[in-house]
């Protein structure tokens, strides 16, 4: 009997509770602002912190976006419509970032954004989710949350 209990205790230690995910709010900029703004500054060096902060604040209440928060990670997804005669809804990842990309626990927790966004995309009647465009989360962790990922090649011209 005690041997069975020790196995259960071991299983409980291995099982990780899903990370809490909630919608980002303007007040969260005070907690995530410093590291989040640094990440944006790398991508958009010409933008001021005020412009980036204003952009993020405007996304908070926009229903076309799902701006999510965890203690050490943020994610932004957007519903878009594919061009063509028959338009379809697509959810596109804009970014999934963690405060410390070398921290395995933060990466594992951030992967839970994908479980959450899969449900959100289904409720939006989206046909697909475009991922791995700007994510700190390794592809293997994303596949564990979403299932098989398909790769496509996109050709474009700079103007």
Domain count, the chain: 1
Q: The whole model's pTM is what?
A: 0.82
Q: Which long-range contacts (CB under 8 A, 24 or more apart) does 33-36 make?
A: 35/99, 36/74, 36/97
CATH of the domain at 58: 3.40.630.30
Domain membership of residue 110 (yes or no) is: yes
- Cβ 140 vs Cβ 112: under 8 Å: no
Instruction: Output the pLDDT for position 26.
Output: 79
The predicted structure's pLDDT at residue 16: 66
Look at residue 101 in the predicted model and tell me its pLDDT. Answer: 93
Phi, psi at 109, each rounded to 5°: -65, -40
- Expressed as residue numbers, the domain containing 45 is 21-146
Q: What is the pLDDT along the chain (159 residues), one digit of tens a residue?
A: 444 334 334 434 334 677 788 888 877 887 788 888 888 888 889 998 888 888 888 888 888 999 999 999 999 999 999 877 888 999 999 999 999 999 999 999 999 999 999 999 999 999 999 999 999 999 999 999 999 999 988 888 999
6 assigned to some structural domain = no
Specify if 121 maps to a domain: yes
Length of the chain: 159
């Amino acid at each position: 009997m005690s041997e069975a209990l020790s196995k259960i205790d071991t299983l409980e230690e291995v099982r990780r509770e899903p990370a809490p995910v909630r919608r980002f709010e303007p007040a969260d900029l005070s907690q995530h602002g410093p590291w989040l703004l640094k990440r944006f500054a790398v991508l958009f060096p010409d933008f001021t912190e005020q412009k980036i902060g204003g952009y993020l604040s405007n996304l908070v209440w926009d229903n076309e976006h799902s701006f999510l928060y965890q203690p050490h990670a943020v994610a932004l997804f957007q519903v878009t419509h594919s061009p063509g005669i028959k338009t379809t809804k697509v959810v596109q990842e804009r970014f999934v970032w963690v405060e410390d990309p070398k921290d395995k626990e933060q990466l594992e927790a951030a992967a839970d954004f994908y479980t959450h966004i899969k449900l959100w995309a289904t409720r939006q009647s989206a046909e697909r989710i475009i991922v791995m465009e700007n994510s700190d989360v390794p592809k293997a962790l994303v596949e564990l949350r979403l299932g098989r990922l398909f790769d496509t090649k996109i050709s474009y011209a700079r103007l």
